[in-house]
Amino acid sequence: MLMAGIFFAMLLMICINIPIAVALAMSGVLGLLFTEGPGSLVTIALDMYSGSTKFSLIAIPMFVLAGAIMNAGGITDRLINFVTAIIGFIRGGLAMVNIGVSLFFAEISGSAVADVAAMGSILIPQMKKRGYSKEFSAAVTSSSASLAIIIPPSIPMILYAASANTSVEQLFVAGLVPGLLGAAGLMLVAYLFAKRYNFPTEAAFNLGRLRETFVDALPAFTLPVIILGGIFGGYVTATEAAGLAVLAALLVSAWYGNLDVRHLRRAMLDGGIQTAVVMLLVAASVLMGGFLTRAQIPQQLAQGILDITTQQWAILLILNFFFLIIGFFLHSAAAIILVIPIVIPLITAAGIDPVHFGLVVTLNLAIGQQTPPVASVLITACSVARANIWEVSKVNIWFVGVLLAVLMLCTYVPSVPMFLVEYFYR
C-alpha cells in the first residue's frame, strides 16, 4: 500500500513536470520518512553523493565532450563527402549517405540529439534541394540517428551497464552486428522509397574521388579505431577509451584547423551540462534504490512474474512491450535509471544474459526516440526539416518497422548480437 502511494506520488510529480531526477529522489525521501522516520533523512546527502561518484560513469562526460568537439571540429562535411563517394551513386543516394554518416557519428558522439542537429542541419536542406520530400528527409535522418545509439559509444549502454552491474565493453561489442543489420534494413527501405518516388542519384562512382575523400576524412577515423580497437582488443577500458577519444578529437579538430577557443568552450559547457543532467538522475536513483531494496520490491516483482511464467521468451515479450510503452513517455536515460534496477532481479532469476538484455533495452529505447509525445530525436529532425511531426511519422513508420524487426531478431535469436561477445570475451 505504501509502495503504491509512493509510486503514485512519483507519477504525479513527473506529470507536473518536476525534473524526473527530483521526482525520483523525492519519492525516495517519502519512502525514508514513512519507513524510518525523519531522523533517517541524513541519508539524502550520503546517497546523493555516492550516486554521483560512480567511477564507470566517468566515460559519459568524456564521450559527450569528444562528440561535442568533433561536432564543432569540421568532421561532418568530410564524412559526408567520403560516404557520398562510396554510396552516392545508388538511387536515393543522399538518403543512403544520411544513414551511412549516422553510423560514423554514432562512433563519435553517443548522443543522438546532438548528432541529428549537427548532421541533419547539413543533410536535410541538401535533400530538400535535390527533390526529396521534407517528411522523408526528416524520417530517414531521425530513424538512422536513433539506430546509432546501439553502436558504440552509447550513453544509454554505459548507464545500463552501471545500473545492471554488467560489462559495458561487452555491451558495446553486442551492439555492432545489430547496428549494421539495422543500417542495411534502413537503406533497403530508403532505396524502395527512392525507386517509387524517383529520387535522384549523386555523382557516379569514381575511384579517384573515393581516394581523395578517404584521405581527407582519414584523421577522423582515428576515433572509431581508438574506441573499437582499444576496447575490443582489451587494451583499454571504456572509460580510458573515452579519455583517449577526447584527446584524439582535440588533435583531429586541430589538424582540420577548426579548433577555436569559442567552439571548445561551448563543447566543454555542453558536455558538462549533459553530464550533470544524467548524473543527477543516477544519484537520485541511489536514494530511491535504497528504499526499493529495503522494501524488497524488485524481488517481489520478479517472483510475481515468475509465478505467471518462467519461459524466457514470454518474459522478454512482456519486457519488450513494457519498454516500448515507456519509450513513448520517457527519455532513454530516465527510462534506464528508473526501470533497470527494478527488473534486473527478474532477468537474473529467469537466466537471461544481462548483456543480451541490455542490447534489447537499448533497441527498445532507440524506437522510443521515434514515438511522440516524448521523441527528442524525431522532434529535432522535424524542426530542422520544418516538417509536421505527424506527417513525418506516417513516412517514419516504415523505418520504425525496420528497427522493430531488428529488435525482434535480437530478442529471439540471441546469437545475432552475442556471437561477437562470445568470440571476444567468453
Partner 1 sequence: METASYPRLSRINRLIGSILEWITIGLMILLTLCVTVAVIARLMGQSFSWYDEIAAIMLAWITYYGSALAALHRRHIGFDTVLLALPKKLRVGALLVGEAIILIFFFLMARAGFQVLDVLAGDTLVSLSWMPIQVTQSVIPIGAILFMICQVLSLPAYLKLTAAGISLEHAEIEEEVETELHKNRERV
By CB under 8 A, the residues from 36 to 55 that bind partner 1 are: 41-46, 48-49, 52-55
* Beta carbons of 132 and 153 less than 8 angstroms apart: no
* Beta carbons of 370 and 377 less than 8 angstroms apart: yes
Handedness of CA 106, 107, 109, 110 (dihedral sign): positive
Size of the site for partner 1 (CB under 8 A): 71
**Between residue 104 and residue 133, which ones bind partner 1 under the rule CB under 8 A?**
113, 117-118, 120-122, 125
Among 217, 331, 336, 367, binds partner 1 (CB under 8 A): 331
Q: Which is nearer to partner 1, 121 or 201 (CB)?
A: 121
Cell numbers for 85, please give them. 563517394
Among 10, 13, 223, 409, binds partner 1 (CB under 8 A): 13
Residue-by-residue DSSP string for 157-207: HHHHHHHHT--HHHHHHHHHHHHHHHHHHHHHHHHHHHHHHTPPP-SPP-H
Q: Measured between alpha carbons, how far is 241 from 92 in angstroms, rounded to an integer?
A: 36
Rounded to the nearest whole angstrom, what is the least distance from the CB of residue 87 to partner 1 in the complex? Answer: 22
Among 89, 221, 256, 329, binds partner 1 (CB under 8 A): 329
Rounded to the nearest whole angstrom, what is the least distance from the CB of residue 351 to partner 1 in the complex? Answer: 33
Neighbours of 16 (CB within 10 A): 7
**Between residue 350 and residue 409, which ones bind partner 1 under the rule CB under 8 A?**
373-374, 376, 379-380, 383-384
Q: Per CB under 8 A, does 19 bind partner 1?
A: yes
Rounded to the nearest whole angstrom, what is the least distance from the CB of residue 308 to partner 1 in the complex? Answer: 30
* Beta carbons of 60 and 281 less than 8 angstroms apart: no
**Amino acid at residue number 208:** G
Q: Which is nearer to partner 1, 225 or 269 (CB)?
A: 269
State the residue for C-alpha cell 548528432.
115
Rounded to the nearest whole angstrom, what is the least distance from the CB of residue 241 to partner 1 in the complex? Answer: 8
Q: Per CB under 8 A, does 279 bind partner 1?
A: yes
Q: Which is nearer to partner 1, 375 or 400 (CB)?
A: 375
- Give 338's DSSP letter: H
**Between residue 210 and residue 269, which ones bind partner 1 under the rule CB under 8 A?**
235-236, 239-240, 242-244, 246-247, 265, 268-269
Q: Which is nearer to partner 1, 195 or 386 (CB)?
A: 386
Among 1, 16, 204, 207, binds partner 1 (CB under 8 A): 16
Q: Which is nearer to partner 1, 28 or 224 (CB)?
A: 28
**Between residue 62 and residue 91, which ones bind partner 1 under the rule CB under 8 A?**
62, 65
Following CA atoms 147, 302, 351, 314 in sequence, which dihedral angle do they give, to the nearest 10 degrees? -60
Burial label for 176, CB within 10 Å (0-12, 13-18, 19+), is middle
List the beta strands (DSSP E) in 281-374.
Answer: none
